[in-house]
Structure formats: structure tokens, C-alpha cells
Structure 1
Amino acid sequence: MRWKLTGRFLMTIICTVFCVILVNGIISIVLYVYHISNEDRPTSATDFTRSLARYIAKIDEEPQISDEGIATLQERNAWLQFLDDNGNVIGHALAPAAAPQHYTPIELIQAYKYRDKNQTTTLVAEHNGVTYLVGIQDASLSKIIITSNTSSITQFIAQFALIIIIVDIVIAIIIGFIFSSFLAKPIYRMIERIRMLKNRNFAVDSKRSKGLYRSIFHNLDDVAESLKLQEEERHKLEQMRNEWISNVSHDMKTPLAAIQGYAELLQGNVSTQEQSDYAEIIEKKSVYMRELLDDFTLTMRLRQQEMPLQLVDTNIVSFVRELVIDVLNDTTFSGSEITFNNQIDKLTKSIDTHLMKRALLNFIYNALVHNEGNVALDISIEEMNEVTVITISDNGKGIAEADLPQVFERYYRGTNTRNIKGTGLGMAIARDVIQAHGGEVELVSEIGIGTTIIVRL
């Protein structure tokens, strides 16, 4: 993958260089054509010499140059001589006195090829049978004569262009390879990190990137941390589910074994009283199994948020007071001291009365059942910062500190509940009901002093 990314980047660089060369060539050709087509007057010495032909004419068979041509010579600091077929000067314009009056063919060649001691460059031209020699006094002007083969020049230009293109491509490959190494390396690391996350490897990368991709790697670390926490939570829920199934299976086996045993006894020769006793035991075990399954279904629906709440605006003060009265009327707890304190007379809350009643009664019954018969129970309700606070306190045996974190776990039974009947789901259901209403539960306890449950809605 890393070399694939590098190769693609190199191809991009090479294509870019090729496009740059092509565009530069097109621009150069366009500029040259524009320069040639918009050139108003000649600038070279040869073009200047040829342009003088427009000012030359024969008058009475004698070559003459017009006044405009003479002005042109003066502007260029040049002079002109007319020659006959034998090289004799038959006329001139602005020619110096030291200028030769006769030129042999060799002298013409020498004058054309080289400048004289006065830094005069000589050029020869012919127009309509008139031969004229032009001398330009310009020290910066030089003449280079080149002889070449046109096909060789074309071949040289093609070879030169090919070499330039190859060199440019090689340079682009070298630079692109170096640059792409730095570019592809963090991308490859990102792909590896994503592959690790896919394989559930949530280890945080120890190499902290400080470049362009710093924020990306930081976000990948955050994703890894979040997925790690979710994975741990999933394992925890999986373990809890397995424990639920194991505990339910265990709790179901005991009453089923009893039902099966007493049913077998009923098939034998037993008295009417024994039949009645065995039937009563079977009924109790059946009721227990039904309650266990109902509680199990309820706690699962609450945890999965599949339990729709039937919310009704209710005076929570009157609601809690009626619960306390119901408990006081239960002869089972006649020896217990239960008090109710309220700071306000009316406080309306939207609650599911059925589920809320079960949750609060679970807290109250736990305080009464898991303590001695003379336990004192104090229930109070107040409002603090628009939060309804229901407090249930007892002066019973208390809960060991090691047991506190597990009190609300499903099927958990503390050290002081060994001989207490129940499904083991009461506290978990009560806590889930409160949370389903958007509230929270706090448990405070100390051995020998008592236990306090604080419900905030």
C-alpha cells in the first residue's frame, strides 16, 4: 500500500512536469510569432541595409538616395556608397573622406566580414541593378557568420529537447520520491491505524505526529479510546448476561426440582392432608418461578430501554405518604418504627405510578426485611434546587463496604441476606426504574449504624 501511494504521487509529479514543458513550449512559440508579426521596423544591420532600398532610385541613369533616406542614415550613424560593376564608387551619401573610392572583390569580402579600424561595419546590398555599400559606425555591433547543415540543426534541436525532457523527468522522479516518502509515510500509518481498529486493536499510537496530520492522529487516538471503552463495556455486559442466564437457570432448577419431587410423591399412596400440603408447596414454587420470570423480563426491558413509561402528573408527597401508610398497615412489620417527614405539602412530578411504587417499596421492604424486627425507618421528602429528594434511612445492621458496589447488581445477595426469600432482582429493578425516570440513586451505609438510600428525581 505504501509503495502504491508513492507510485501514484510520482506519476502525478511526472505528468505535472510534462504539462509544464508543453505549456512553456506553446507560450514560447506564441510569443515569438507575436513578436515577428508586430515588429514595425527592422532592428538588425542587415534589415536596415535592405530597408534603404526604398529610398534609392535612378535619376538620369545615376543612382540617388532621397532626403528621407539620408535622414535615416543619420539616425543610424551610417553612410552609403554606390558602386558600379567594376567596384568603382559612383556616388555616396554621408561617406567619410577616408572611405575607399574603389573596391576589389577581395576588399569587398574583407569589408563585409570584418570591421575596420574606425569600428565601422560594412554591408553590401543590391536593388534594381544598383549596388550599394553601407557602413555603420557602431562599436557594439558585431557580425557572426555561421555555416551549418539544416538537417543537422533539426536533429540537434530534437536531441537537445529529448535530453532536456529526460533530465527534467529524472529530477522530478528524485524530488517526487523524496517528497512522496514524507507524504506517504503518515498516510500509511493512518491506514495501519484504521486496520488495527478494524481488528479490535485499540492501542494508542505512541508516535505523536507533529505535522499536517496531527489532528487526524489525535482523532484516531480518541476513536481508539472510545472503542476500547465500548469494548470493555460490551465484555462487561456479555459477562453480566452470562451471569444472568446462569443465575436464572440456577434459581429455576431449585423450584423445578421441588415441583418435580412433590409431583412424584403425589403419584404414590399419600393421605389427603399430605396431598394438600404438597399441592400448596407446588403452588408456592410455581408462583416464585412466575415472579422470577416477570422480574427478569422487567429488568431486561428497563435495561434495554424498551419499557414505555405511563407518565402521569402526580403529587409525589401524597404518593409517598400513601406508600408509608400501606406498609404500616402490613402486620408483618408491626414491630417496626416507621416515620414520614415532609418539608412541603405538594410537589407534582410526571411518573409511572405503578413502576415508581414498586421501586420505592423495594427500598422500604429491603430496609425492613434485612434488619431486625424492631428496626426504625425514617422516610422524608424535600425539594432542593428543583430536584425532588426522597430519603429512606434505617438504623439497622448496615452493609459491609465490600458489598456496597454490588448491591444494585442483578442476583447479588449480601452477607446479611442468606435466609431471605426473593428473586434477587429487587434492588436492580428499583434502580433501573429511577434511572428510567431520569433520576439517580445513592446508597450510603455503615456496619452497626444503618443504611440510607437517597433518590433524586
Structure 2
Amino acid sequence: MVTKLKSRDNLKYLILVILICICSTVLLSRYGSFYEAGEKAQKEKADSMENVISDMGDGLAIGNCILDNEISGGREQSELLEEYGMSQFNLLKKYMEYGAFDRNGESLLKSTSDSVATRLLSDSDSIYGIRVAYTYDADGELSDIEVSGSRLTPEEEYEAEQSFLADVRFMEDAYGIELSGGQSMTLIYGMSAANVESYAENFYEDQRSGDMVIWYSGLSRSVNCMMLLLAVAAALLPTLLRTEEYKGKIFRVPFEGVILILIAIFGWSADWLYYPANILCRTVDGTLVHMIRPFRQMAEIGINLAMWSGIFLILCWAGACLCGIFTRKRAYWKEQTLTSMLIRWKNQHELHMGKDFVSLVKGIMKRLKKLVRKQYDALTHIDFRDKTHKAILRIVIVNFVILVVVELVSLMCGFEFYALVIYSIVLFLILRKFFRDVQRKYQMLLHATNELAEGNLDVVIEGDAGVFMPIQKELCRIQQGFKKAVDEEVKNERMKTELVTNVSHDLRTPLTAIITYTDLLKNETDPEKQKEYIEVLERKSFRLKVLIEDLFEISKAASKSVKMNYMQVDLVGLIRQVELENDSKIQDAKLEFRWKLPDHKVIMWLDSEKTYRIFENLIVNITKYAMAQTRVYIEMKEFSDKVSISMKNVSATELDFDVNEITDRFVRGDSSRNTEGSGLGLAIAKSFIELQHGTLQITTEADLFKAEIVLPRLSEGQTGQTEV
């Protein structure tokens, strides 16, 4: 049994060795195809004018500065060499003719021969494969770029001009490369068709050995797949073969360390594969080792197999370190991870840790959580009624910070793609939480809106509505408005009921008296009695007439069909006239009126008839309800934009009514209705005052009743609405 287990244990090592040999051999057998694919990509790049032009732009931009300095002599050549180094322009000069010319076509460079200048200034496209002309003004600003040549189509010429312009702008902004100015000039570069091909071949020659093979031959993809296969196989073999884990401390590296190594291997594969790719190219070229042919081939095979076996062996080791995930399962995470080790160490040494350090860490985490929560709350409580510049700026800043962190992580670890995946996952989680919050708050407001639509005006509209907070406030206002409207409607319905009752009572009382006394008059023969009955009939008829007129006036005011006739009215004279015509009522009521009116005329633009009715109703109201043997104070005050008339008297009965309802129709100061009155006097007065854009305010204090009228000063012809 022990022998069987031992043989299985050795079997997993044998399988890994076989897999490593197979993968290395497969790669070695494909060297020719990898090399050919790299050569093909290099040739395509060399033949592509787009790639050639793209690689020339930076060099020509630096060349403009170097040639300008050669003309002006402003800086030493050694200083330029120190600043720009061996730039690409040094390579371009070997394949190009170049010159600098003023507006008149005169050469500004001594090194440019007459024949070269003639060719550069020629308009013929057959001379050069590529010809580039940069035109600068006296301030050193680029004003024009012209590209032509026999190797370029019109479309390629246009694209080249845009590419060279972008390169010049980039070099100016990024490195401050610009001309000194002082005179207008045109810098012209010309490269023959043969030199274009030679330049392209030489420029891409050094890239064929490494980059071309990595990116265009499929080498990187093949190596990554094989490495992944070997790592997974090493991790699963103990479980599949039901053997023990790999023995040795080398296979007890913590999970986090192995993952970091794997991330570095796969993330930086394009960088470290450059060296195996160069060995691949030199193997195919026969330049890897310098030996006679039979021994050279054996040495090359041995070197390449050893190289790939070493690389694959590292991946097998990484997979072997992770095999405990499948064999020990939960125990692996407790025993072979740095996180679990740190937690155990913390639990064992927490009492010995500095309390200040612990509190500092907790404080930092607390502030960080508070900051994140504050920014999130700010994003979920954007008020779209205000300018959203701050909100947009906050979102941009937060996103910028996250991208900076992602970029730093990717630079340190070299796995840009995985960093973007993590960023996308975090962004998805944040957006999911955000939209769930918005959806929940939207559903809350939608429920409240539906309840209001169903007529439930007592629905509770509360809670954090986030971005919908302004809408929530408006819904609360609508709710209060609906409640007020409903209460007002209930009040109006109650008033209508009371109106019918009061009208019936007030009309029936004099009408009943008229009918009764008419019947008595028919059967009465005594002249004295007849005279008495006629006086009662006359009084009751007059009472009925007044009541009907009041009903007519208040109905017109309520239906907004009162026609206003504005004119110049003397308020002092008008109120004196009301006093004179109601003097008998004042005397009968045993009241002493104290007038405090201006000595001069107070001319106002009013409806004289309606204003007279206002004063008459108020004074008659005083004679009915004021206590006998008391004083009544009537005062008029002038202001620049209005006139105020106040009337104060002591009530004969207790003032237990609501001052906000006393001006409603059929509301009387004596609820027992002992006095002769329709309850329409103050309502009519209030309606006529409001029709003239004024206000009537009733106040009480103990038994003191006060009515204050405020009428605005309207300019002549300013009537508001003549028919309301």
C-alpha cells in the first residue's frame, strides 16, 4: 500500500516533467512560424507609408529646432546635443536632403549646396519620395505644412500634414521645442523613394528581433496559454491522483505571495518575453552560438529547451503552492495565507500593541469612511434646481482620484487590464447601490403620489428622498394645498347650508308678519288698529326690501359681476354725508361719535356708490351692536400710497365670534338673531373694499370691536378691472 502511494506521488512529478518537455518542444518546433510572422509584420510596417510618416514626425520637429539654431547661432551645438541627445533626426539626416530658405527662396544654411537647394525648391513630385515643407513666421510660429512626394497618394499627403502638425504641437507643449523667431523661413526636407525604403528597413530592423515576434506572431498568446495550463495542472494533480501535496518548504509560500508572482508573470509577460523572443530570432538566424553546424544546432536546442523549461518550471512551482486550495480546502485558507497569519498574530499580540497606534489607525479608517460616505451622500442629494457645476466637479474629482489609484496599482504591478477590470467591478457596485437608492426613493414618492391621487390626503410623505428632495417638498405643499382646498370646500358647503337656513329664516320672518297683518287688516274695522297694522306692514315690507337688496348685492359680488364706476371722491365729505343721513339711528342708539378726520379734502379714485355703501354698512352695524351711552371713534389717516379708516366701538354683548368668519355671509354678532339684521352688512362691505383693491381687517380685544379699512391711492384712470 505504501509502495502504491509512493508511486502515485512520483507520478505527479513525472507528469509535470512530461508536460514541461512537451510545451518546450512545441514552442521550439514553431520557431520558424514565429520568425516568419515577425518578418512579415516588419515588412508590412516598412512598406506602410503611414507607419513611416508616423515615426518621422518627432524627428523632424526636433530637426526644425536644430536647423533654426544653426541659422541663428543662439546656442552651442554641445548644449543641443545634451538636451536632445542622439535624436531620431540624426538618423533622418543620413537619408534626407534638407535646407532653410527665406521668403525670396534664398538659402539660409551654408551647408546646403545650390543643387540641393534647387531640388528642394522644385515643385516636381518625381524628385523625392517624401518632401516636407514647414513654414514659420517672424515670431517663430508654424503657419503652414506642405507634404508631397511620389510615394504618397493625395489622401496620404493630407494625413501626413495632420500627423506632422500634431507632432510639432506635441513637442512644443511637452518639451518646449520651438523656434527662436526673428525672420520668416521655410524648412524643407526631401527623401528619395529609394531612401524611403532603406530608412524603413533599417528603422524596423532592430524591432524584428523582439517586439515584432511578441506582438505579431502569437508567441505571447501561446506562452501564456502554456503557462496557465502547467500552473493549473500542478495545482490539480494531487487532487486528481489522490496523493499528498508537494513536499518541501518551497511549496509552503503564502497564497498572497504566489498570486503576486503570477500577476507579475502574466502582467509583465510582454516585457520579459522580449529576451526569449530575441533568443528565438537569433536561433533562427544562426547567430546564437558560434560553433560548427552539428554542435551549434545541439547547443541551440539545449539552450532553448533549458530556457523554456525554466520558465515553465516557475509556473509549475506556483501551481504546486496553490494545490492546498483543492486538497485542504478551508484549512488551506487558515494555514497558508498571510491574512490568516496576520489575524492570528493580531489576536495573540493585541494586548502588547500600542494603544495610540491602534487608535490612530481606527481614527484614520473612521475619517476615511466618513469622507467616502459624505461624498456619496452629496452625490445622492444633488439639487437640480441649483447650478450643478459643483456636483459635476465632485464627480470628476472622485473619478480622477480612483483612476489615479488604478494607474498607480497598474504601474506597480504591471497588470493594466486587471486593474481596469477591478475598476469596472467597483464602478458597477457603486452605480448599482446608487441606482437602487434612487429607485427606492422614487418608489416612495410614487407611492405618496398615488395615495394623493386616490384621495388619501393624510398619507405621510417623509424620509430621505435624495435627489428627489425638492419634489418631495413640492408634494408636501400640494398635500397641504389640497387639504386647505378640501377644508375650504367643507366650509363653503357648511356656509351654503347655513345660507339656506338663514335666508329661509330671515325671509320668512317679515313675510309671515306681512301675511298675518294682512289677514288682520281684512277683518279690522277700527281705524286706529288699521293704521297700526299698516305701519307694521310698511315696516316689514321695508325690512323685506332691504334684505332682498342685500341678497342681490352679495350675490353679484360673489359671482364677480359687479360693475365699478370709478371717479374722484372726497372721502372726508363722503363719510360726513353717511353720518348726516344716519344721524337719527345714531341718536336712537344713544352713541357719542368722536371724529378724527383731516381738515382738508382727501380725494381718491374710487366708486362713490360702493364706497358710500361700505361706510353706511359699518356705521349702521355700530348702531345695532354698540353699547348705549358709549363713545365711537372714527379716525382717518393719510399715507403716501394709501388711506386708512378705523372705526372702534364697545360691544353691547360679549364678542365670542371668530373674527375670521364675521365677514362671511349671514354671520351675525348675536347668534340669537335678536337684532334686525341680515348678517350681510360686513360681507358686502368686505366685497366692495376688495373690488377696489383694499382690505378690511376686523380685530377684537375684550369687548372692543375695531374695523380697519385700507384703500390704496389709485392714479386717475387706474381702475384695475372695471367689471370683476
TM-score (norm 1): 0.58
Q: How many residues align?
A: 330
Structure 1 residue aligned with 2:483, among 228, 231, 245? 228
Tell me if the contact between 1:363 and 1:427 (Cα under 8 Å) persists in the aligned partners: yes
Distance in structure 1 (CA, Å) of the matches to 2:628 and 2:289: 145
Matched, 1:271 2:525: yes
Change (3 A) 1:334 1:179: closer
Q: What is residue 318 of structure 1 aligned with on the other side?
A: 573
Task: Give the letter for the 2:646 counterpart.
Answer: T
Give the alignment partner of residue 440 of structure 2, picking from 185, 199, 215: 185
Equivalent in 702, 707, 710 of residue 456 of structure 1: 710
Which amino acid is 2:596 matched to? N
Distance 1:74 1:367 in 2: 119
Match for 1:100 among 291, 294, 302?
A: 294
The structural deviation recorded for 1:430 is: 1.9
Letter in 2 for 1:235: V
Tell me if 1:403 matches 2:657. Answer: yes
Q: 1: distance between equivalents of 2:525 and 2:213?
A: 142
Partner of 2:625: 370
Counterpart of 2:687, as a letter, is: D
Q: In structure 2, give the amino acid aligned to 1:202.
A: L
Deviations 1:42-61 (A, max 9, x none): 7449x99xxxxxxxxxxxxx
Q: Counterparts of 1:261 and 1:269 in 2: how far apart (Å)? A: 11
For 1:369-448, list aligned pairs within 5 A. 369-371=624-626, 374-384=629-639, 386-394=641-649, 396-403=650-657, 405=659, 407-415=662-670, 419-437=674-692, 438-447=694-703
* 1:28-427 alignment runs, 5 A limit: 39-40=45-46, 43-44=212-213, 77=282, 96-100=290-294, 115-117=300-302, 119=303, 181-203=436-458, 205=460, 207-265=462-520, 269-271=523-525, 273=527, 281-328=536-583, 333=588, 336-371=591-626, 374-384=629-639, 386-394=641-649, 396-403=650-657, 405=659, 407-415=662-670, 419-427=674-682
Residue deviations 1:167-195 (CA, integer Å, cap 9, x gap): xxxxxx99998776544332222222112
Task: Give the distance between the partners of 2:653 and 2:682, measured in 1 at CA.
Answer: 14
* TM-score of the two chains, using structure 2 as the length reference: 0.39
1:435 Cα offset (Å): 3.0
Question: Relative to structure 1, is the Cα distance of residues 251 and 330 closer, same or farther in structure 2, using a 3 angstrom cutoff?
Answer: closer
Q: Secondary structure at the match of 2:445?
A: helix
Change (3 A) 1:77 1:258: same
Larger radius of gyration: 1
CA shift for structure 1 position 344: 4.7
> Is the 8 Å Cα contact of residues 401 and 446 (structure 1) preserved in structure 2?
yes
Q: Which residue is equivalent to 1:153?
A: none
Decide whether the 8 Å contact of 2:625 with 2:653 is kept in 1: no
Instruction: Give per-residue Cα distances to partners, 1:340-389, cap 9 Å, x unaligned.
Output: 33235132222221111111112222223334665443433222464312
Note the C-alpha offset of 1:204: 5.3
The 3-state SS of whatever aligns with 2:484 is: helix
Unpaired segments of 5 or more residues in structure 1?
1-34, 49-72, 82-92, 103-107, 122-137, 145-172
Aligned to 1:105: none
User: How far does residue 225 in structure 1 lie from its aligned partner after superposition?
Assistant: 1.5
Aligned counterparts of 1:77 and 1:433: Cα–Cα separation in 2: 110
Q: Is the 8 A contact 2:448 2:461 kept in 1?
A: no
Identical positions, percent: 20
Between the aligned partners of 1:347 and 1:337, the Cα distance in structure 2 is 24
Aligned mates of 1:330, 1:279 — CA distance in 2: 22
> By how many angstroms is 1:296 displaced?
2.2
- The Cα shift of 1:257 comes to 2.7
1:100 to 1:380, Cα distance in 2 relative to 1, 3 A? closer
Distance across 2 between alignment mates of 1:301 and 1:37? 100
Q: Any idea what SS the aligned residue of 1:212 has?
A: helix
Give the AA of the match of 2:441: P
**Residues 80 and 183 (structure 1), Cα distance of their counterparts in 2 relative to 1, 3 Å cut:** closer
How far does the alpha carbon of each residue in 1:242-270 deviate from its partner, in whole angstroms, 9 at most, with x for none? 2111111122222333344445556x654
CA-CA distance at 1:392 after TM superposition: 2.6
CA 1:216–1:419: 2 relative to 1, 3 Å: closer
1:230 CA drift (Å): 1.9
More strand by share: 1
Structure 2: how far apart are the matches of 1:95 and 1:411?
A: 121
Is the contact made by 1:204 and 1:221 (CA closer than 8 Å) also made in structure 2?
A: no
How far did 1:282 drift?
Answer: 4.5
Between the aligned partners of 1:334 and 1:225, the Cα distance in structure 2 is 46
Match of 1:10 in 2: none
Shift in CA distance, 97/250, structure 1 to aligned 2, threshold 3 Å: same
Q: Secondary structure at the match of 1:358?
A: helix
Closer, same or farther in 2 for the Cα pair 1:139/1:282, shift >3 Å?
A: same
3-state SS, counterpart of residue 116 of structure 1: helix
Query: SS of the counterpart of 2:709?
Result: strand
The CA distance in 2 between the partners of 1:336 and 1:342, in whole Å, is 18
C-alpha separation between the residues in 1 aligned to 2:42 and 2:501?
Answer: 97
| Cα deviation, residue 239, structure 1 | 1.2
Change (3 A) 1:214 1:290: same
Gap change, CA 1:36 and 1:433, over 3 Å in 2 = farther
Residues of 1 paired with 2:616 and 2:456: CA distance?
46
- Please give the secondary structure, in 2, of the residue aligned with 1:240: helix
Cα distance in 1 for residues equivalent to 2:289 and 2:671: 136
| Structure 1 residues 36 and 384, CA gap change in structure 2 (3 angstroms) | farther
Residue identity in the other structure for 2:294: P
Decide whether the 8 Å contact of 1:208 with 1:214 is kept in 2: no
Contact between 1:359 and 1:434, CA under 8 Å: does it hold in 2?
Answer: yes
Change beyond 3 A, Cα 1:208–1:308:
farther
Distance 2:630 2:542 in 1: 29
Shift of 1:419: 4.1
Gaps of 5+ in 2: 1-40, 47-203, 218-277, 313-427, 712-724
8 Å CA contact 2:572–2:598 kept in 1: the answer is no
CA shift at 1:325, angstroms?
Answer: 3.0
Distance of 1:304 and 1:36 partners within structure 2: 94
- Partner SS for 1:382: strand
State how far apart, in whole Å, the 1-side matches of 2:472 and 2:611 are: 47
Change (3 A) 1:217 1:276: same
* Residues 297-332 of structure 1, C-alpha deviations (whole Å, 9 max, x = no match): 322433454433322222222222332233347796
CA distance in 2 between counterparts of 1:387 and 1:213 reads: 44
Q: Root-mean-square deviation (CA), in Å?
A: 4.6
Contact 1:391/1:452 (<8 A) preserved: yes
Q: Which residue of 1 aligns with 2:141?
A: none
Instruction: Judge conservation of contact 1:443–1:452 (CA < 8 Å) in 2.
Output: yes
CA contact (8 A) 2:596 2:636 kept: yes
Cα 1:319–1:76 change in 2 (3 A) is: same
